[in-house]
């Protein structure tokens, strides 16, 4: 029998990964995965951009690259991030193999076994998996419609053993779908200042807003650049170009960057040069802005279709917030509801989603579920939501 490490022995397959087998069945309408719609990818535009590259750039695309990222992409991405007000010149930018690698690298940089890490509850399953792989003690802090509970955060900060960092997803949260208010971010900053607890700010969905009036709320904490807090900002091309590129980034203070670059070097040496060349060309062409604006409207249309279907079919005891961007709607059921039983019934009817306990750091609370509308047409949504609603009524009455 192989003798695995303690860290590896504690790892378990996530429910989302297991559900992908179901989601691939042609008879199942999947509201499970947070995957962009295949029909929305800018395939022709990228083909044209690649075809127009000179032979040296095409050759470089097949070659190893520097660990921090190709200089050309670092330069163009800096410009992209500066348009969002991020303090690029005061920090260091590192290209990662998806933002998932960024979270894994930061976890490795900070966590020793059994040390506490503060996360939202519910929380992005990829972050939970990354931090668990370094045997962190995950401490979940509740979120409401405005963001993380400040009282819950204060209580955690006042505990004897100081947390290694706080991880949040403030912009169209995965899975809760919420957008932090400016006031809640202000309170969060004030609470963290002077604690020496770094903040990991995950911004995978912030570009996918539905309403212009929300743009001020979308200003990253990293862009506010608060004194006394080491803010590690992570982002990704997965939702604004394509997850198959496997490209993300982190923008972090110099001292944190130095450790993270060494960790990445030992993990994969460099992210794919080929997709870095494509991403760089897409940014420099300016098409990234028009493309994101177009898909933003498509996701808004799909979200509206799901909202309409939920209003028509859900029982009154189900609570949920209408999305203002991103990919997800979070349903909260009565306290004694079991979302896994509901999911089993829904699958029998032809639809699948993700049960709430998947996103609970403790893996227990299960009276909620996540619906994703990003990878479905309005027609599929209209067909699948009644199946979910019927399963909810069957279990909850």
pLDDT, residue 26, reads: 75
pLDDT, residue 249, reads: 98
Residue 43 has pLDDT above 70, yes or no: yes
What is the DSSP pairing of strand 328-332 with strand 368-372? antiparallel
pLDDT for 205-219, tens place per residue?
999 999 999 999 999
pLDDT class for 20, splitting at 50, 70, 90?
Answer: low
How far apart CA 139 and CA 362 sit, in angstroms, is 8
pLDDT for 239-268, tens place per residue?
999 999 999 999 999 999 999 999 999 999
How far apart CA 257 and CA 317 sit, in angstroms, is 47
Q: Is 158 left (phi over 0), alpha (psi -120 to 50) or beta?
A: alpha
pLDDT class for 2, splitting at 50, 70, 90?
Answer: confident
**CATH architecture of the region 63-287:** 3-Layer(aba) Sandwich (3.40)
Q: What percent of the chain has pLDDT over 70?
A: 96
Residue 4 has pLDDT above 90, yes or no: no
pLDDT, residue 397, reads: 84
Mean of pLDDT values over 95-121: 98
Please name the residue that has the structure tokens 């992409």: 73
Q: Which of 292, 281, 296 is nearest to 46 (CA)?
A: 281
pLDDT, residue 17, reads: 60
3-state helix/strand/coil string of the chain: CCCCCHHHHCCCCCHHHHHHHHHCCCCCEECCCCCCCHHHCCHHHHHHHHHCCCHHHHHHHCCCCCCCCCHHHHHHHHHHHHCCCCCHHHCEEEEECHHHHHHHHHHHHHCCCCCEEEEEECCCHHHHHHHHCCCCEEEEEEEECCEECHHHHHHHHCCCCCCCCEEECCECCCCCCCECCHHHHHHHHHHHCCCCCCEEEECCCCCCECCHHHCCCCCCHHHHCCCCCCEEEEEECCCCCCHHHCCEEEEECHHHHHHHHHHHHHHCCCCCHHHHHHHHHHHHCCHHHHHHHHHHHHHHHHHHHHHHHHHHHCCCCCEECCCCECCEEEEECCCCCCHHHHHHHHHHHCEECEEHHHHCCCCCCCCEEEEECCCCCHHHHHHHHHHHHHHHHHHHC
pLDDT, residue 11, reads: 66
Q: Which of 109, 132, 59 is nearest to 267 (CA)?
A: 109
Residue 16 has pLDDT above 70, yes or no: no
pLDDT class for 1, splitting at 50, 70, 90?
Answer: confident
Residue 22 has pLDDT above 70, yes or no: no
Mean of pLDDT values over 68-89: 98
pLDDT class for 27, splitting at 50, 70, 90?
Answer: confident
Cβ–Cβ under 8 Å, residues 299 and 381: no
Residue 160 has pLDDT above 70, yes or no: yes
pLDDT class for 293, splitting at 50, 70, 90?
Answer: very high
pLDDT, residue 170, reads: 98
Task: Break the chain into its structural domains and give their ranges.
Answer: 6-42+289-396, 63-287
CATH of 6-42+289-396, one of 3.90.1150.10, 2.170.150.70, 3.10.150.10, 3.50.50.60: 3.90.1150.10
């Amino acid at each position: 029998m192989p003798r695995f490490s303690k860290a590896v022995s504690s790892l378990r397959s996530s429910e989302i990964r297991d559900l992908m087998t179901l989601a691939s069945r042609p008879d199942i309408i999947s509201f499970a995965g947070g995957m962009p719609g295949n029909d929305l990818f800018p395939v022709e535009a990228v083909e044209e951009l690649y075809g127009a590259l000179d032979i040296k750039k095409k050759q470089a695309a097949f070659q190893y690259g520097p660990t921090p990222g190709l200089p050309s992409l670092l330069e163009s991405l800096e410009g992209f991030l500066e348009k969002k007000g991020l303090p690029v010149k005061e920090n260091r930018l590192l290209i990662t193999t998806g933002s998932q690698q960024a979270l894994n690298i930061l976890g490795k940089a900070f966590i020793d076994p059994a040390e506490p890490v503060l996360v939202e509850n519910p929380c992005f399953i990829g972050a939970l998996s990354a931090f668990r792989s370094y045997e962190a003690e995950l401490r979940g802090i509740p979120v409401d419609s405005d963001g993380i509970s400040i009282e819950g955060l204060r209580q955690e900060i006042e505990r004897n053993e100081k947390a290694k960092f706080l991880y949040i997803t403030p912009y169209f949260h995965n899975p809760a779908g919420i957008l932090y208010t400016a006031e809640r971010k202000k309170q969060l900053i004030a609470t963290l200042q002077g604690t020496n607890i770094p903040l990991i700010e995950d911004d995978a969905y912030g570009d996918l807003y539905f309403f212009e009036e929300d743009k001020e709320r979308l200003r990253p904490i990293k862009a506010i650049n608060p004194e006394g807090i080491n803010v590690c900002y992570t982002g990704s091309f997965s939702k604004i170009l394509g997850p198959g590129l496997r490209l993300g980034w982190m923008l972090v203070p110099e001292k944190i960057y130095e450790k993270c670059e060494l960790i990445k070097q030992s993990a994969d040496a460099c992210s794919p040069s080929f997709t870095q060349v494509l991403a760089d060309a897409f940014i420099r062409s300016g098409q990234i802005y028009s493309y994101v604006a177009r898909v933003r409207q498509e996701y808004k249309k799909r979200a509206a279709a799901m909202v309409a279907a939920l209003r028509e079919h859900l029982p009154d005891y189900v609570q949920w917030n209408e999305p203002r961007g991103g990919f997800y709607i979070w349903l909260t059921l009565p306290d004694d509801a079991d979302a896994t039983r509901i999911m089993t019934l829904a699958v029998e009817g032809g639809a699948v989603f993700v049960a709430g306990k998947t996103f609970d750091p403790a893996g227990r609370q299960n009276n909620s579920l996540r619906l994703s509308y990003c990878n479905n047409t309005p027609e599929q949504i209209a067909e699948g939501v009644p199946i979910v609603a019927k399963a909810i009524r069957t279990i909850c009455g």
